[in-house]
Amino acid sequence: MRSSRIFTISIVAMLLIGFSQRIAVAQAKTSEPERIIMESDGYAPEPGDQTCKYFTWSKFFTADQRVGFRLVMEAGKIGSENPKTKTPYLTIVLDESKTVPIARKTGHDDAANGYWVLSMNQATYDSESKCLVGVTVKK
């Protein structure tokens, strides 16, 4: 009886340790640094697309509406992203302390579509609004 109780406690402990390690790995995957969003190159891939100073509103040859942007990566390299406009893929947070737009990847779905939070001040949002149609805004 005592050995089965010790065995049960051992199994529960191993499961809890494994679960906490999975959480730590998941958090490590989603804890990416903030990236400065660069000015757009003005490329509009499809007719009807909108280009703004920082963002491009396009489908980028997919079925979903997306917002494209370029960002500064590690070692000064330039990257680009084009997440879907609908929640949870893209959210805008208005933050008056941001003098340039900032992007932070917060996770991804099973198909590796990224979840992004864009932070910018109200003036930047107002000037970019035609390229951010359909994106959830939080104040």
pLDDT at 11: 52
pLDDT at 46: 87
pLDDT at 27: 39
Which amino acid, 73?
M
User: Residue 88: is the preceding peptide bond cis (ω within 30°)?
Assistant: yes
Number of H helices, E strands in the chain: 2, 9
Residue with tokens 């990224």: 114
pLDDT at 89: 95
Taking only Cα atoms into account, the Rg of the chain, rounded to an integer number of angstroms, comes to: 20
Q: What is the mean pLDDT of each run of 10 residues along the chain (139 residues)?
A: 53 48 44 92 87 94 92 93 93 97 95 94 97 94
Which three-class secondary structure state does DSSP give residue 12? helix
Q: What does the domain layout of the chain look like in residue ranges?
A: 1-31, 33-138
pLDDT at 28: 40
pLDDT at 96: 97
pLDDT at 26: 42
